[in-house]
Structure 1
Amino acid sequence: MLICLTANHRNASFDLLEKLSLGTSDVAKGLVEHSDFVQGAVVLATCNRFEAYLDIDEPLTAGISLAVEEAAATFGGASDIDVAELRDSLTVLSGDSVADHLFAVSSGLESVVVGEDEIAGQVKRALTTARLSGTTSSDLERLFQRASHTSRDVKTKTGLGGAGRSLVRLALDLAESRVTDWAQTRVLLVGTGQYARVTLANLRDRGVTDIRVYSPSGRAVAFAAKQQIAPVAAGDYLGAIATADVIITCSTAETYVLDATHLQAAASVPGAFTRRLVIDLGLPRNVDPLVSGVGGAELLDLETISLHAPLDELNAESDARALVDRAAAEYRAGKAEAEVTPAVVALRSHLFDLLDDELGRSRDRGDSEETQKALRHLVGVILHSPSVRARELARDGRSAEVFAAVETLFGLGGAAADRAAGAAAAAASASASASAGGSPVSLESYRRADG
């Protein structure tokens, strides 16, 4: 069963989200390896949300509660957050609401800037990280792959993705009132990742040509060569700060890359500018909040940016939400159909076993090949209607009735059902990513889950 623990800009402070973002992949791996309940985990940590999608092996309420407690203790301990505080900031989703939520998140409908561009890539990277860490599962694979497909549909089929929205764009929009002429503005970019590339593109759209890049991890030269801008060496960092009108930080460094001492030292550099705007897009924070107390410096951070998120474009958002709702409903229906697959496979196996016995007797009697083909066709026709009906019942939430009917009419419990369930589980795993895992589920187990 899948559950989601979510803390975001609506129910948690940016300070808490910042702490939770540290070392999430390692923490998720430890949770899966040591938990008695959590079989898989994908963690999505962005500038305005922290979410843990967990695959637990116990569908009962007690199992969910224990898994939530384990996860809260694990993530809280790793982030130095009081578990009680973290628990109060987490919303727990389970069952169908998990898919509803992730599909909306991946499509940008739950972001600070509704329809933002970056979130879809962040969702994909969260799944990739889980694969590399060995913490994903077949159910999580299917959920996240479907979420990515839905976000692509939203981008191409609705007006929500047409504006090229992003948190970066919003930050630069807010900076407009502080910048007289973008074409004459000297910008220092700190960071070389995905956000740096998005930021660079947005700056160029505004006509900025004087852009330099500094990388705390030493990647500035390679990034600058590819993007055709000027790199800043470690020894020249203070000079670059001193002669920058705007400094934009978007590094993945887990310590401050810019603090008050940097600005104070830069002020003594010959030719240093007297005023500068600092935009911090990093999570964890790249900039010490104390820089706002240095003369001539103004700080625009994620918390401030989020307060100025624009009103939704109602028509585009309405269309996107309708598409997401349809995708989530189809996902739930497909999952429900998969639940009754073991029953259908067991029934097919039973009837074709009977057919094989009858065909053997038919050959012994010397019956023609045409007679044998007719028997095979007849069994296929007989199976078609109950197979279709089983899927229809599953979509209506009546899977338990399918299992009860198959066992009552044909006695297909026990070993035969287990073999069919194993075959269905293997087929499901094969259709998911090669890194996904799973285990066979018997008809009896499905009945317990449904009942």
Structure 2
Amino acid sequence: MLICLTANHRNASFDLLEKLSVGTADVAKNLVGTSDFVQGAVVLATCNRFEAYLDIDEPLTAGVSLAVEEAAESFGAASGADVGELRDSLTVLCGDTVADHLFAVSSGLESVVVGEDEIAGQVRRALTTARVEGTTSSDLERLFQRASHTSRDVKTKTGLGGAGRSLVRLALDLAESRVTDWAATRVLLVGTGQYARVTLANLRERGVTDIRVFSPSGRAVVFAAKQGLEPVAADGYVEALAGSDIVITCSTAETVVLDASHLHASTAVPGAFTRRLVIDLGLPRNVDPGVAGVAGAELLDLETISLHAPLDELNAESDARALVDRAAAEYRAGKAEAEVTPAVVALRAHLFDLLDAEIARSQSNGSSSEQTERALRHLVGVILHSPSVRARELAREGRADEVFAAVETLFGLGGAAASRAADAAAPHDASGTVSLDAHRRAHR
């Protein structure tokens, strides 16, 4: 069964989310490799959420409880986060609610800025990372692929996707009051990844032409050549800071790339600007908070940006949620149909085995012909069609148990029911949400 451990901007502090973005890359691999219960794991860590999607092999409540505890302790230890705080902040989703949640997340409906563009790519990259690390599973593959398909539908079929909003755009919107003329603004971009490309596009939309790029990892030259920018070498970083009105950091570096000492050093550069706005889009943070205490510097970080997220565009969001709900319902129906496959396969095998035996008997006494055999095989196929269709319909209605009971009662095919993967229900409420405390109580 699939479960999701989620901590996001609604139920966790920014500091906790920042810690969880560091040092957790190898946890999924270790969990899958060492846990008796976790068979697959995909981790999604963004600037406003941390989520671990786990494929649990053990359907019993105790197995789910232990898997959740293992994951919480492992992620807490790897990130340096307090395990108690992590437990209090994590929500555990089970069953159908996992698909509902991921589809909404990948479509931007659960983001700080509803409808943001970046999250769909982050979901795809989370699955790619799991593939590379060998931690995905067939159920997780289907779930994430369907989530990506749903996010594309939301983008192309609803007004939410057309809005093209993002945290980058919101940050630059908040910077508007500090900028007299975007065309005359000198910007230093620190970072060369996906957020850097999104930031660059947004800056150019506003008419910014004087943009230089610095990379803590040394990728500035390649990035600058592709994007038509001026690269900044490591020994020119302080000078570039001195000559910038706005510094935007969006590096994936796990250490601070800009602190108060950098800005103090830049003031000694001849002709240095006396005021500058620093926008930190990095997670973990790229900028030391002490920068805000430097004279003439103003810091705009993700925590501050999140506080100014605009109200939802209700109509567009409503359309998107309806589409997501339909996609999730179809995904659940498909899973339900798959549940009855063992019964349908067993029934088909049983009838065709009987047919083969009868044909063999007829051949032995010379009363069979090729034409008759073809007709009989066709007849069995026709007979099987209606119960196969009905089995899938019943599964979609949540009546899969009736299908297995009928096959076993009428044909004595108990092995079909035995081969079915039975998911025992973990303690949950009507929404499918469980708490870590509930898991621990159940395990006791």
Does TM, scored on the shorter chain, surpass 0.5?
yes
Partner residue of 1:446? 420
CA contact (8 A) 2:24 2:79 kept: no
- The SS at the match of 1:336 is helix
- The SS at the match of 1:40 is strand
- The SS at the match of 1:367 is coil
Closer/same/farther in 2, CA of residues 80 and 13 from structure 1, 3 Å limit = same
How far is 1:60 from its partner?
A: 2.5
- Distance (Å, rounded) in 2 between the aligned partners of 1:265 and 1:447: 64
Partner residue of 1:236? 236
1:306-345 to structure 2, matched below 5 A, reads: 306-345=306-345
Q: Deviations over 1:268-311 (max 9, x none)?
A: 11110000000000000000011000000000000000111111
Partner residue of 2:432? none
Partner residue of 2:37? 37
Q: Deviations over 1:316-374 (max 9, x none)?
A: 10000000000000000000100110111111111111111122233342433322222
Partner residue of 1:180? 180
- Distance (Å, rounded) in 2 between the aligned partners of 1:448 and 1:220: 53
Partner residue of 2:77? 77
- Distance (Å, rounded) in 1 between the aligned partners of 2:182 and 2:254: 30
Q: Deviations over 1:47-90 (max 9, x none)?
A: 00000000001222222211111100000011111211100000
Partner residue of 1:412? 413
- The SS at the match of 1:312 is coil
AA of the residue aligned to 2:13:
S
Q: Which runs of 5+ in 2 are unaligned?
A: 426-444
Partner residue of 2:434? none
CA contact (8 A) 1:259 1:291 kept: yes
CA contact (8 A) 1:400 1:447 kept: no
AA of the residue aligned to 1:286:
N
Partner residue of 2:378? 377
How far is 1:35 from its partner?
A: 1.1
- Distance (Å, rounded) in 1 between the aligned partners of 2:24 and 2:154: 28
Q: Deviations over 1:356-400 (max 9, x none)?
A: 112223334243332222211110111111111111111111112
Aligned residues: 424
CA contact (8 A) 2:191 2:213 kept: yes
AA of the residue aligned to 2:382:
V
AA of the residue aligned to 1:336:
A
How far is 1:450 from its partner?
A: 6.3
Closer/same/farther in 2, CA of residues 450 and 381 from structure 1, 3 Å limit = farther
Closer/same/farther in 2, CA of residues 157 and 248 from structure 1, 3 Å limit = same
Partner residue of 2:393? 392
CA contact (8 A) 1:25 1:130 kept: no
**TM-score, normalised with respect to structure 1:** 0.92
- Distance (Å, rounded) in 2 between the aligned partners of 1:59 and 1:99: 18
- The SS at the match of 2:93 is strand
Partner residue of 1:290? 290
Partner residue of 2:130? 130
- Higher relative contact order (Cα pairs below 8 Å, separated by 6+ residues): 2
CA contact (8 A) 1:183 1:209 kept: yes
CA contact (8 A) 2:342 2:420 kept: no
How far is 1:408 from its partner?
A: 1.8
AA of the residue aligned to 1:446:
R
How far is 1:314 from its partner?
A: 0.7
AA of the residue aligned to 2:197:
R
- Distance (Å, rounded) in 2 between the aligned partners of 1:335 and 1:24: 30
- Distance (Å, rounded) in 2 between the aligned partners of 1:146 and 1:362: 49
- The SS at the match of 2:163 is coil
2:209 matches 1:209: yes
1:160-179 to structure 2, matched below 5 A, reads: 160-179=160-179
AA of the residue aligned to 1:12:
A
- Distance (Å, rounded) in 1 between the aligned partners of 2:162 and 2:24: 32
Partner residue of 1:432? none
- The SS at the match of 2:54 is strand
AA of the residue aligned to 2:171:
A
Q: Deviations over 1:409-441 (max 9, x none)?
A: 212234xx4xxxxxxxxxxxxxxxxxxxxxxxx
1:356-371 to structure 2, matched below 5 A, reads: 356-364=356-364, 365-371=366-372
How far is 1:448 from its partner?
A: 4.3
- Distance (Å, rounded) in 2 between the aligned partners of 1:447 and 1:161: 38
Partner residue of 1:425? none
- The SS at the match of 2:19 is helix
- Distance (Å, rounded) in 2 between the aligned partners of 1:361 and 1:445: 31
Closer/same/farther in 2, CA of residues 447 and 18 from structure 1, 3 Å limit = closer
- The SS at the match of 2:420 is helix
Q: Which runs of 5+ in 1 are unaligned?
A: 418-442
AA of the residue aligned to 2:363:
R
AA of the residue aligned to 1:169:
R
Moved more, 405-414 or 288-297: 405-414
2:17 matches 1:7: no
Moved more, 206-215 or 376-385: 376-385
AA of the residue aligned to 1:402:
V
- Distance (Å, rounded) in 2 between the aligned partners of 1:445 and 1:348: 15
CA contact (8 A) 2:100 2:328 kept: yes
AA of the residue aligned to 1:409:
L
- Distance (Å, rounded) in 1 between the aligned partners of 2:57 and 2:373: 45
2:121 matches 1:147: no
Q: Deviations over 1:109-148 (max 9, x none)?
A: 0001100000000000000000101100000000000000
- The SS at the match of 2:101 is helix
**TM-score, normalised with respect to structure 2:** 0.94
**Root-mean-square deviation (CA), in Å?**
1.2
CA contact (8 A) 1:106 1:148 kept: yes
Moved more, 279-288 or 382-391: 382-391
- Distance (Å, rounded) in 2 between the aligned partners of 1:319 and 1:196: 30
Moved more, 357-366 or 34-43: 357-366
Closer/same/farther in 2, CA of residues 448 and 219 from structure 1, 3 Å limit = closer
- Distance (Å, rounded) in 2 between the aligned partners of 1:131 and 1:235: 38
Closer/same/farther in 2, CA of residues 282 and 383 from structure 1, 3 Å limit = same
- The SS at the match of 1:202 is helix
AA of the residue aligned to 2:403:
V
Partner residue of 2:245? 245
How far is 1:445 from its partner?
A: 5.2
Q: Identity, % of aligned pairs?
A: 85
2:113 matches 1:113: yes
CA contact (8 A) 1:252 1:283 kept: yes
Partner residue of 1:430? none
- Distance (Å, rounded) in 1 between the aligned partners of 2:371 and 2:177: 84
